[in-house]
Structure 1
Amino acid sequence: MRRTFEDALSWSAAGTELFLDAVAGWGEEQYLAPSGLPDWTRKHLVAHVAANADALGNLVRWAATGEETPMYSSREQRNADIEAGSQKPAAELAAWLHESADRLAVGTAALSSAQWNAEVVTAQGRTVPATEIPWLRSREVCVHTVDLATGVSFADLPAGFLAALADDITGKRGNAPGPALVLTAADTGDRWELLGEDDATAVAGPLAEVTAYLAGRPHTLTATDGSPAPTLPAWL
């Protein structure tokens, strides 16, 4: 793993600022525009990011107190919170977004070294040390800033974050069904392999495009033989 705890803290803070800057000053019209995610308006996406801050705050509380506090009581509750948030007026939704981000920042800043090493359980059921919380948050705010469809692209995200995200996604995709791939970031020399069905397809391009492809986002990649890059199954 080439990302460090300090890296994740930095990316989480930078990604949060990027997301908040992207939505600053929006009114109802901007919030109700489609996001880059199917069937979601920008309101849905902002509600999701605000709810994620509160959910990660539950893990911070778990690490701080030792009291088991899951991110969400259920997937149904998570989905209901996002849907309810998507119905909030613009000003109320913006307030939730900022207040939840502030609460998470205050909570993480108060954790001691021992508390950072406490074990918590993610929404996917993985048991991890609390030091993973900033990485989980950085993924949300960085990727979803792109999903807001305001012109921010993967190329605008930190290169270190992009490489770490590509590592993370290939690790998660490693045991899942899908095409066999050899991916090369032509601008950095980074390389990833996905074991899968049939012979491996070679795909190369800028790091930002490779990471966008792995994350299931719009990209410009083709295989090195000129054919379309294989379609990947869902990442999360």
Structure 2
Amino acid sequence: MSRSFTDARDWMTAGTTMFITAAAGLTEADYDAPTLLPGWRRRQLISHVAANADALGNLVHWAATGRPTPMYASPDGRAAGIERGTTMAGAELDAWLRRSADLLATAMAALTDEQWATRVVTAQGRTVPATETPWLRAREVYVHAVDLAGDIGFGDLPDVFLTALVEDITAKRGAVPTDDGPLPEVAAWLAGRPHTLVGAPALGPWL
């Protein structure tokens, strides 16, 4: 594995700043513009990222208290979080995005080493130590910063993060990345996003 717990926390911090900065100053029309995810508007994507911070905060609460707290209260909880944001005005949505990110970072900063070792269960049903949550968040904010379809591309993300991302997606997809393309393009392809690789098979969106 080419990432450490410290790496993941650093990427989460930097990726959160990148996403919030990219989403700042949008007009109401900008919020309704399409993203790189088929069928998703920026308003939905930003809602998803804000709700994701709240959901991961539930896992951090689990680690802090020892009381099982799932990411979402019900199977349709993820969709409900996205829907919640689509009814908000832009300023309200931006405030939720920032507030949820701050609350997650604060909760993580309060965990002890012993609490970080607590086993929690992701929305996909995987049992992992709480130390995995910063990586889960780093993926969300960095990849979705690209999905906003603004000025950020995979080439703007740190190479060390992209290397870890390629490893992670490859392990889950079972796909073997090509050695012939630039790292950002390989990462974009594996993530199911637009890329410039020639002859790479089509992959659906991941994450």
Class of the TM-score when normalised by the shorter of the 2 chains: over 0.9
**Alignment match, 2:28:** 28
Out of 190, 193, 207, the residue aligned to residue 217 of structure 1 is 193
Stretch deviating more after TM superposition (70-79 or 148-157): 70-79
**Alignment match, 2:140:** 140
1:105-120 maps to which residues of 2 (within 5 A)?
A: 105-120=105-120
Structure 1 residues 29-82: Cα deviation after superposition (integer angstroms, max 9, x where no partner): 111111111111100000000000000000000000000000012231210220
Between the aligned partners of 1:156 and 1:207, the Cα distance in structure 2 is 11
Structure 1 residues 122-147: Cα deviation after superposition (integer angstroms, max 9, x where no partner): 01100000000100000000000000
Q: Gapped runs of 5+ residues in structure 2?
A: none
- Total equivalences in the alignment: 207
Cα pair distance change 1:144/1:182, threshold 3 Å = closer
Q: Gapped runs of 5+ residues in structure 1?
A: 175-179, 185-203, 223-227
- Say which one has the larger Rg: 1
- Counterpart residue type for residue 15 of structure 1: G
Aligned sequence identity (%) = 61
- Counterpart residue type for residue 5 of structure 1: F
**Alignment match, 2:200:** 229
Between the aligned partners of 1:45 and 1:182, the Cα distance in structure 2 is 27
Query: 2:177·2:190 contact (CA, 8 Å) conserved in 1?
Result: no
- Counterpart residue type for residue 216 of structure 1: G
Between the aligned partners of 2:143 and 2:109, the Cα distance in structure 1 is 23
Structure 1 residues 96-136: Cα deviation after superposition (integer angstroms, max 9, x where no partner): 00000000010000000000011000011000000001000
Stretch deviating more after TM superposition (8-17 or 68-77): 68-77
**Alignment match, 2:52:** 52
**Alignment match, 2:82:** 82
SS in 1 for 2:178: strand
Out of 147, 171, 178, the residue aligned to residue 183 of structure 1 is 178
Query: 2:170·2:176 contact (CA, 8 Å) conserved in 1?
Result: no
The structure, 1 or 2, with the larger RCO (C-alpha pairs under 8 Å, 6+ apart) is 2
Stretch deviating more after TM superposition (70-79 or 106-115): 70-79
Runs of at least 4 residues off by over 4 Å: none
User: Structure 1 length as normaliser, TM-score?
Assistant: 0.85
SS in 2 for 1:183: coil
Between the aligned partners of 1:141 and 1:120, the Cα distance in structure 2 is 21
**Structure with greater helix percent:** 2
Stretch deviating more after TM superposition (68-77 or 11-20): 68-77
Cα pair distance change 1:182/1:140, threshold 3 Å = closer
CA displacement at 1:181 relative to structure 2: 4.2
Between the aligned partners of 2:26 and 2:119, the Cα distance in structure 1 is 38
Between the aligned partners of 1:61 and 1:49, the Cα distance in structure 2 is 18
